[in-house]
Amino acid sequence: MSVEVLYSDVDGTLLGPGGSLFTTPRGDLTLRAAEAIVSLHRAGVNLVLVSGRTQAQLSELARVVSASAYISEMGALVVDRSVFPEIVHRNYGEFEGDDTPAERMTRSGAVRMLLERYAGRLEPHTPWSSQYREATMLFRGHVDRDEAQSDLDRAYGWLELSDNGLISRGFETLEVNEVHAYHLTPKGIDKASGVRRHLEIARINPDAAAAVGDSRSDAKLAEVVGVVFITANGRAGVGNLPLNARFTEASHGEGFAEAVEAIV
């Protein structure tokens, strides 16, 4: 079956270091990712952005790259751009309440517990963590994800910590050798659930969908789409891949271009 839609992560996948569409990790200039976006549109393949970024952060980027939709905050908000004004479909997983998941997390004490338990290894991912978020909390650092999840389960069983990939720089405030982006969400919210919701809304057969990313959260999309590509910069952090997933030879935007070349 031909591919109708490509779900793409943003940071570390479509964009290179510093959030640039035109820069490689080596500091060279490249047009490969931009040309790949053009190839997608010419082939009639929809581009849908999937990211931990907020709705406000993704909205303008989606316009720039002519994405038909975008999925923000790790799957919590599925935004359809095929109509005007945009329609936001909320995907709060197991969360129930009149407030937002982010408001509930702030009051619960879970954020304070994580920051105290992993002092020096985990901190808010400033300045982006201070921007309005509806359903998630954003951190940076390096922790044993399973250990942190066990800590959460003992007192905050409704919450989950997700690793959204490696950040290509260090921070003097952290005592770790590498830095990852982490998102705290209600259980049931992840990129896979967001993509599944979009497939239902757009009435697309999952076998006609592909995805590209650089993290464990992106690799989980193999559960809901036909094929997943993980860019080379995600190799160390992702581990073994499902049968319908593969690594690209290049990293960041050039890896994104490899994925596009494989499906178009």
d(CA 53, CA 236): 23
pLDDT the model gives residue 142:
96
d(CA 92, CA 30): 38
**Helix residue ranges, H only, 65-168:** 101-108, 110-117, 145-155
Phi-psi region of 32 (alpha: psi -120 to 50; beta: other; left: phi over 0): alpha
DSSP state of 237: H
| Structural contact between residues 142 and 177, judged by C-beta atoms closer than 8 angstroms | yes
Please list the ranges in the chain whose pLDDT falls under 50: none
pLDDT the model gives residue 1:
65
Query: CATH 3.40.50.1000: does it fit domain 5-91+190-263?
Result: yes
0.85 surpassed by pTM: yes
Contact partners, residue 157, CB within 8 Å, separation at least 6: 187
pLDDT the model gives residue 84:
85
pLDDT the model gives residue 83:
84
d(CA 91, CA 175): 35
pLDDT the model gives residue 197:
97
| Structural contact between residues 206 and 50, judged by C-beta atoms closer than 8 angstroms | no
- Residue in 219, 210, 259, 253 with CA at minimum distance from that of residue 238: 219
> Per the omega criterion (within 30 degrees of 0), is the bond before 206 cis?
no
Dihedral angle computed from the Cα positions of residues 121, 18, 29 and 10, in that order, rounded to the nearest 10 degrees? 90
- What class, spelled out in words, does domain 101-186 have in CATH? alpha beta
Residue ranges per domain, the chain? 5-91+190-263, 101-186
